[in-house]
Structure 1
Amino acid sequence: MTRPQRDDEFRLEIADLAFGGIGVGRHDGFVVFVPDTAPGDVVDVRVRRARRRFADADLLEVVQAGPDRIDAPCPYVPRCGGCRLQHVDYPRQAEAKQAQIAEHLARIGHLPDVEVRPIDHALERFGYRNKMEYSAAPDDTGEFTLGFHQRGRWDRVIGLDACLLATPAGNAVRDHVRAWGRREGIAAYDQREQAGFFRHLVVREGVRSGELLVTVVTAPGGDDVVDSLARELMGEIDGIVGVLHAINDGVAETTQGLPTRIVVGRDWFTERVLDVSLRLSAPSFFQTNTVMTEVLYGRVAEAAGLDGGQVVFDLFAGVGSIGIALGRQAKAVVAIEIIPEAVEDARRNAEANGLVNHRALCGDVGKIMREHREELPRPDVVIVDPPRGGLSGRAVRRVLEVAAPTLVYVSCQPATFADNAARFIEGGYRLDWVQPVDMFPNTPHVEAVARFTMQAGA
């Protein structure tokens, strides 16, 4: 096996898709990763970076397209950093995501024999995102534009005429704000120069309710400018229930944790999932695909197996949607979430849905479970829905300490799930099955629901 060197050019066949939607092939036995390729492609590539065990290469030409390659419907592929799999036929996308979960369990968790069920396919391939975050930047002519960062570039934004993953409302708000910015001569923030005013536009949508919540993120100042935009949006676009103004005076490109004021309307919107009505505040997390969230929650209900007699812990609960959706089949639900606004949403949501058996606590999961262990009931079912980083070591220990007969894990990152799964098995659980759910078609991301059962005598 000969290791290629930087700038080497050669031809290879793509055998599979690795995590992240990147094609993988072998050159003289050496593993080579190539973005923008599909299984079966024969491609010419140039090595960008050579490491000890693998190389990263850039695609020069598709010599022969594989059977799974299609023409990406979006004109911004592959420049845009959002979609990595539009050029791959959907069934092959889904198959790759399912295989990647199994591969991570085997390689990271050392769990090669786990039952990974056939993936639940997305019900909508496009127009499914209920949350859009657009970055502002001057375009090549200096005009105000809104879009997404170019792949691999922190300092360049691709202006969009339409995003195929956004809903019509998500596209309409962006188009209106872009037209306003150009008409009013608004200075878009230039990340390289660290100068300008308008930084981000965030659009959140209740797909079932038709309500929209818009957040404008700017550099300090310009309240009167944003006030004028807010009034215009409220008057021109149906469904907007509130416009917020957040101030980012730092270097980091973020829309989270910023000082925020209500300009017009309110700072929350409503959504409906299954038979549950939800209030969602601006900072609160909610899945970005409403339709597939219902499929996901159905799988959680299957894994939990509630019959009305169980106490449920809903950890990393967000606005309480999972616990509330299952609450009528439970004896009691205890939700724990670290974001105060989300906890308040969870309490309001439980009340609005008539659940008197629901309690929401605010704080770090591991800390709350330790501090309240004497007063909390012993759970029969624990549901965890952590962020991409997975459960911390402390959170894993707290879950193992309560030793619930059933543990349901909702994963959004196969690698951290595999690591956590191995820790739970070491602690006495058996991993019964894993159900992948494709919440994010045309992107590399995948959700999964896993059921663990505490083994007798553990």
Structure 2
Amino acid sequence: MREAEVRIEALAYGGSGVGRLEGKVVFVAGAAPGDVLRFRTIREKKQFIEGELITLLQPSSERRVAPCPVFGRCGGCQWQHLLYTRQVYWKDRIIADFLSRQAGVSADLVKPLLAAEDEWGYRSRVQFKCRQTPTGFVMGFYRRGSHFVIDVAACPIAAPEINRALTLFRTWLPASPCPDAIPQVDLAVDDEGHLAAVVHCLAADPQPLADYLAPRVREQGMALYLQRGRKDTLAEVQGPEELYIHPLPQSSLRLAYAIGGFAQVNLAQNRRLVDALLHAAGELSGKRILDLYCGMGNFSLPLALAGAEVVGVEDFSPAIVQAERNAVANGLSARFLSRPALRALTHDLRTERFDLVVLDPPRAGARDIVPELLRLRPARILYVSCDPATLVRDLKPLVHNGYRVTGARGIDLFPQTYHLESLTCLQTG
């Protein structure tokens, strides 16, 4: 493997610093724009090189000292070494470059990224990996690119309540009946301060672990569940069964989601995302809206509260049950379908018409439903994406068949990482 020097000029989606050497693009993890560094080649292809940072010859002014002692080894964060103002700048650049270069979106249509008010302590859900080793019980995160667990005492991007619970479980689990049978602990806190733990247990009989943990978590006012495999093995040890989010600022709207279920990990930024989507949707009274990949109603019910007639579609049936309960609990009317989005569009909703379609697909995007969106042809589409690559892939057929992008912006739900959410608005004509 050869070594060489390079100056880092930019950041790539994926987190690596980007430079150029001998006509090839060079990607180096842990680098910052402005760095001059020496790297070792890990992989080299015709057009690019992937390198490992060996020596920082001239540090960039965009750098700072990462506060986490395991940063660079833990596989979670990629950008703790960057000033947050520069993280925001580069996320803005990344989403704008994807949209302009690959989807032909004019730069003046991309609004500034909604930066997080708190760059630390924002994660409301964290999965901690566990391992019983010859030297003791470790609880933390996988080392980058491996299944080796790095022990952590606290995570700077986790909510304070989660770090307090982590301290407790790090004390409890080594002395539990089966520390060698616990591969993972999921901790979550909601908008009301309720804490819940899901302890994954591979023991043939998990009851001794349940009996051991129950009085301890009860004293802390924490919910506890054990999971023995897939999600359908989740068993309550101590309730409650639900956590709650408040998806709108200055509103009494209160949405429940099941412990072990999905809600955005950055609750404060989720409120800003929902607020941005409502503003982008405009006047909603009397409008028919289709919300695809609706989950437990994070967008559907704020839209219904604003006066829209909403149909929500989600293929995970427990989330639909939750969405229906949330509608009743908040005195709202909405129709929910437990279906894959494609099936709903080709069967249940084939003859219906909608003024607006909202979609928030998983990272893989929504390629399979784009032809059906073109057939359905709503006047407007609001596309929420967590991956700019699949976003622009899905936008291309829309903009080539009569839709135009009228606005877009990033929302930073994941400070200290390269991940970002975005909202893109399209309309016909």
TM-score normalised by length of structure 1? 0.89
Query: What's the secondary structure of 2:378's corresponding residue?
Result: coil
Residue 153 (str. 1) matches residue 146 (str. 2): yes
Query: What's the secondary structure of 1:388's corresponding residue?
Result: coil
Deviation at 1:112, TM superposition (A): 6.0
Q: What CA distance in whole angstroms lies between the structure 1 residues aligned with 2:317 and 2:242?
A: 14
The verdict on how the C-alpha distance between 1:102 and 1:262 changes in structure 2, with shifts beyond 3 A counting, is: same
Q: What CA distance in whole angstroms lies between the structure 1 residues aligned with 2:204 and 2:242?
A: 24
Which of 183, 197, 204 matches 1:214?
197
Which of 314, 329, 340 matches 1:352?
329
Deviation at 1:370, TM superposition (A): 1.8
Q: What CA distance in whole angstroms lies between the structure 1 residues aligned with 2:387 and 2:211?
A: 41
Residue 421 (str. 1) matches residue 363 (str. 2): no
Residue 69 (str. 1) matches residue 67 (str. 2): no
Q: What CA distance in whole angstroms lies between the structure 1 residues aligned with 2:55 and 2:124?
A: 35
Aligned match of 2:179: 187
Q: Kindly provide the amino acid, as one letter, of the partner of residue 246 in structure 1.
A: Q
Once the two structures are superposed, the pairs formed by residues 321-332 of structure 1 within 5 Å of their partners are 321-332=298-309
Aligned match of 1:138: 132
Aligned match of 2:356: 381
Does the 8 Å contact 1:284/1:319 carry over to 2? no
Q: What CA distance in whole angstroms lies between the structure 2 residues aligned with 1:278 and 1:325?
A: 10
Aligned match of 1:251: none
Aligned match of 1:312: 289
Does the 8 Å contact 2:105/2:405 carry over to 1? no
Aligned match of 1:163: 155
Query: What's the secondary structure of 2:336's corresponding residue?
Result: strand
Q: What CA distance in whole angstroms lies between the structure 1 residues aligned with 2:79 and 2:53?
A: 15
Deviation at 1:396, TM superposition (A): 1.3
Which of 95, 105, 113 matches 1:101?
95
Query: What's the secondary structure of 1:273's corresponding residue?
Result: coil
Give the aligned length: 426
Q: Give ranges in structure 2 of 5+ residues lacking alignment.
A: none
Query: What's the secondary structure of 1:152's corresponding residue?
Result: coil
Does the 8 Å contact 1:243/1:267 carry over to 2? no
Query: What's the secondary structure of 1:119's corresponding residue?
Result: strand
- Relative to structure 2, which stretch is displaced further, 229-238 or 8-17? 229-238
Q: Kindly provide the amino acid, as one letter, of the partner of residue 342 in structure 2.
A: G
Q: Kindly provide the amino acid, as one letter, of the partner of residue 343 in structure 2.
A: K
Deviation at 1:108, TM superposition (A): 3.9
Does the 8 Å contact 2:36/2:58 carry over to 1? yes
The verdict on how the C-alpha distance between 1:93 and 1:229 changes in structure 2, with shifts beyond 3 A counting, is: farther
- Relative to structure 2, which stretch is displaced further, 299-308 or 79-88? 299-308
The verdict on how the C-alpha distance between 1:300 and 1:229 changes in structure 2, with shifts beyond 3 A counting, is: farther
- Relative to structure 2, which stretch is displaced further, 24-33 or 177-186? 177-186
TM-score normalised by length of structure 2? 0.95
Does the 8 Å contact 2:356/2:382 carry over to 1? yes
Deviation at 1:333, TM superposition (A): 0.6
Aligned match of 2:314: 337
Q: Kindly provide the amino acid, as one letter, of the partner of residue 345 in structure 2.
A: M
Q: What CA distance in whole angstroms lies between the structure 2 residues aligned with 1:402 and 1:283?
A: 34
Aligned match of 1:263: 237
Query: What's the secondary structure of 1:321's corresponding residue?
Result: coil
Residue 446 (str. 1) matches residue 420 (str. 2): yes
Q: What CA distance in whole angstroms lies between the structure 1 residues aligned with 2:407 and 2:351?
A: 32
Which of 203, 212, 221 matches 2:187?
203
Q: What CA distance in whole angstroms lies between the structure 2 residues aligned with 1:56 and 1:381?
A: 43
1:128-148 deviations in whole A, cap 9, x for unaligned?
001010111135x43112110
Q: What CA distance in whole angstroms lies between the structure 2 residues aligned with 1:365 and 1:443?
A: 29
Which of 367, 375, 378 matches 1:404?
378
Residue 297 (str. 1) matches residue 278 (str. 2): no
Q: Kindly provide the amino acid, as one letter, of the partner of residue 418 in structure 1.
A: V
Does the 8 Å contact 2:406/2:425 carry over to 1? yes
Aligned match of 1:369: 345
Does the 8 Å contact 2:218/2:238 carry over to 1? no
Does the 8 Å contact 2:38/2:55 carry over to 1? yes
Query: What's the secondary structure of 1:424's corresponding residue?
Result: helix
1:69-96 deviations in whole A, cap 9, x for unaligned?
1110111111111110000111111111
Q: What CA distance in whole angstroms lies between the structure 2 residues aligned with 1:454 and 1:149?
A: 46
Q: Kindly provide the amino acid, as one letter, of the partner of residue 157 in structure 1.
A: V
Deviation at 1:321, TM superposition (A): 1.5
Deviation at 1:30, TM superposition (A): 1.9
Does the 8 Å contact 1:284/1:339 carry over to 2? no
Deviation at 1:257, TM superposition (A): 3.5
Q: Give the RMSD, CA atoms, in angstroms.
A: 1.7
1:257-288 deviations in whole A, cap 9, x for unaligned?
35221122233222222222011013432110
Q: Give ranges in structure 1 of 5+ residues lacking alignment.
A: 1-6, 189-196, 249-255
Deviation at 1:111, TM superposition (A): 4.5
Query: What's the secondary structure of 1:300's corresponding residue?
Result: helix
Aligned match of 1:237: 220
Does the 8 Å contact 1:114/1:431 carry over to 2? no
Deviation at 1:362, TM superposition (A): 0.3
The verdict on how the C-alpha distance between 1:437 and 1:13 changes in structure 2, with shifts beyond 3 A counting, is: same
Query: What's the secondary structure of 2:71's corresponding residue?
Result: coil
Residue 288 (str. 1) matches residue 265 (str. 2): yes
Deviation at 1:174, TM superposition (A): 1.9
Query: What's the secondary structure of 1:452's corresponding residue?
Result: strand
